[in-house]
Amino acid sequence: VDSSTLEGVLESIVFFLSKNFKSLTATGFLSSDGGVTFGLNAFVSKKEKFINKDAVAQIGAGMIGSAALKENGFMSGDLKSYPETIEYYAEKINVNSLMAVRITNASGRIIGVLAVDSDAARAFDDDDKDLMFRFSKVASMLVSNVKMSSELKENSRISDLSFGLSKLMSEQLKPNDVLKVLMLNLGKLFNSRRQVLCDVSSASG
């Protein structure tokens, strides 16, 4: 499933995060490359003009990328002791507290990160962290449902195209006409830009 299909899938989750934790900024990141990089999918912020809407977090780097590696999540009420940058801000903002948990799929693969921050020191506690993990589970189900729906639509599209192609090919009387129909429709079937047909030489094999 490409990133455009998942666009804004975390919007409702992030909205409720911002309201529940009264955060300065709440964000949701998703990965489209198996958990190597995470793109900002949704955010709600009181500092919206300072948000980098094209933010990308790298696994193990920065606050979000580092949080993605932590099975038990990340929580700090004193960010001054951490050298990492907060990836979703385009410039330095006075943020003292940050809490982030990763989103995993059914097989345990990291597919995203949820984060909330605050300008107050020690703004979050262990109960807040437990609640963040519940939001993470809901986010996991939401992303899985979107992916499943997209896969079902794609399977249906391929099935319909395959049936139509088989019907068209069966109506052709000459081998060359069958090949023409095939070449004209293969691009639609596989979303390809170019198709190449190679004929085997009967003389050389």
Global pTM reads 0.71
pLDDT 10s digits, 40-67: 999 999 999 999 999 999 999 999 999 9
> pLDDT by residue (tens digit) across 131-144?
999 999 999 888 87
Tokens of 177: 């006409």
Render pLDDT for 64-115 as a digit per residue (tens, 0 to 9): 999 999 999 999 999 988 888 999 999 989 999 999 999 998 888 999 999 9
More confident residue, 159 or 130: 130
pLDDT of residue 147: 66
Rounded-to-integer distance, Cα 28 and Cα 23, Å: 13
- C-alpha 97 chain-centroid distance: 25
pLDDT confidence tier of residue 193, bands split at 50, 70 and 90: confident
Task: Kindly list the distances between the CA atom of residue 26 and the CA atoms of 50, 99, 176, in Å, as whole numbers in the listed order.
Answer: 13, 10, 59
Is the pLDDT higher at 48 or at 174? Answer: 48
Q: Say which residue the tokens 């998703």 belong to.
A: 30
Instruction: Please give the pLDDT value at position 150.
Output: 56
pLDDT of residue 83: 85
pLDDT, residue 106, reads: 83
Higher-confidence residue of 201 and 7: namely 201
Ranges of H-type helices in the chain: 11-21, 62-67, 126-170, 175-190
